[in-house]
Structure 1
Amino acid sequence: MRATAFSVGQPAPWFHCRTQLRERFCFDTIAGRYVVLCFFGSAADPAATEILDSIQAHRQRFDDAQVCFFGVSVDPDDETLKRVESSIPGIRFIWDFDRSVSQLYGALQPDGSIRQMTYVLDPALRVLAIVPIETAIENHVPSLVRYLDKLPAPVAPHAATPHAPVLVVPRIFEPSLCKALISYYDERGGEESGFMTEQSGKTVHIKDHSHKKRRDCVIEDEVLAKACSLRITNRLLPELQKAFQFNATRMERYLVSCYNSEEGGYFRPHRDNTTKGTAHRRFAVSLFLNSGEYDGGFLRFPEYGKGLYSAPTGGAVVFSCSLLHEATSVTQGRRYMFLPFLYDEAASAIREENLSFIQR
């Protein structure tokens, strides 16, 4: 399954439209299950007919509990001639006769025709895959179903337990970028990392092994830094805005960090904005570059219990810099991380005002 119009991890655009069942349907209300969004153009098209017949042949796969299917038609005759029929649960059709939804999703070509394609969205309505409907039409839906079968099942309903107010977002960096960042670190090595504290009214950088053991490598390669920034902007910031209504416009630090079990890598409980030199920081991002390749190395938020937090490779845990948090010890292997801070224009003004308090 390959991405084309959008990249994997980007949020799918929200929209309002008319469907076969509703005069005004809010697309964002279907979150919570996997979504198959198929831009087939017209049901009179032979390729579209084969696709829709195959969807019906796999009818049991679309149950609304785990997966739902939305077909997008741009042909008014599909409605008037009743060429397609919604089937609840799981199968619905969108009337996109003005082609606005098709344009939003990159399916509208310059000549006005429809580039037939199928999107797969995750339960948060982020792009998992985009599959063009091209040759071997008969394989399109079977391969789609095989892909759906491999996806993790949504967690069953359960009683919520106390947890920290953090956001866990997968698929921010793709595996190839994670590997490139790790290689960048390994080629250059890391310098011992300290932390900021207040001394005599100044923000100073100190090192204390009883509090922190970590090595950092600043990313000086502009191409690599830009790749990181672009993905944070396109894939993470929309989720931050949705969850916390915070519009991050600036990012501090481009660095790869390594917690090495040979040194007992850890960072004891701390907050990230307690000095004048760090007061501008609003959200911290812990982006995991090699999950599963080490033991230990969790995030913990003591104010909210003993829960341990992590993310898949390329995924991030995002949280307010005001929260007390720690990186637990890595007991085996090396834990590589990308660790920026996010802030906005108002916080940027605070940063400028406080520059004089930072000891150089």
Structure 2
Amino acid sequence: MILPGDPAPLFTQRANTDWHHYSFDMAAGRYSLLLFCPSLQIEATQKAINALSSLYSLKASGRLELFIISTNPLDEEKTLANKKEYFTIFDSNKQVHTQYGIAPNMLTWVVVDPMLRVKCVLEASEKYFNFIKNFLQNAKPFQEGPVPALLLEGVLEHSFCTTLIEYYNSQPSHISGVLTQNHERKAVNADNFSFKRRRDCALNDPSLVRNLQARIIRRVVPEIRKVFQCDVTGMDRMILSCYNAEERGCFGPIVTTPYQALCTGFLRYHSI
């Protein structure tokens, strides 16, 4: 069984999301409370789920995410899960239970911190829930620190930024999804407006593509090699994106699949 201080095992499993799966690395940046149970339909589980209502305000504030992880295959068919208030993970093959070392017939609470490290593993009883509730309500808000990202200025000239913005405004755009994994660990795009809200358009103009590639190769690739000791071998795609205030545009970590990195440039309508 996992112990406090251990890295929380990451998993991708069927869930009550719009794309029918959940990749647990998306939970970073806030506390997570996981309830492992044999079924949603037994009285003990329902009692534990009812207790979670006292934590909904913490979830609404963005400080907590809630998960119910059931091994009963019938739970997915019964659609007993409330999408707004918690994620239900359908663990009928016991993959997640095995990763966490939790017996399928046990009701167990697991608290995971914003860095995806295990804080505590406790029996799902009223006494221990009150302890967990007190801890979560009094936990200090997660302090965002520096990300392992390379920040570079002056990569694109103001005139080239203006050209790219004009190109975006002249093209059709579409809602951008989150690149995550399905149960086969294959990369899939999924819409999740609570996680990210953005519009994209593909950069298809050959001249603009060549000019953008030239600037990245000349000004970004050498810095990546210098800082991360990594040789960039290719560019997967080039898109122009917009976080529109009228659509309440918001950012989230948009790649949760391995072996990929992003090169993002921020364009403004006015110079500073």
TM-score (norm 1): 0.38
Q: Which of structures 1 and 2 has the larger relative contact order (alpha carbons within 8 angstroms, sep 6+)?
A: 2
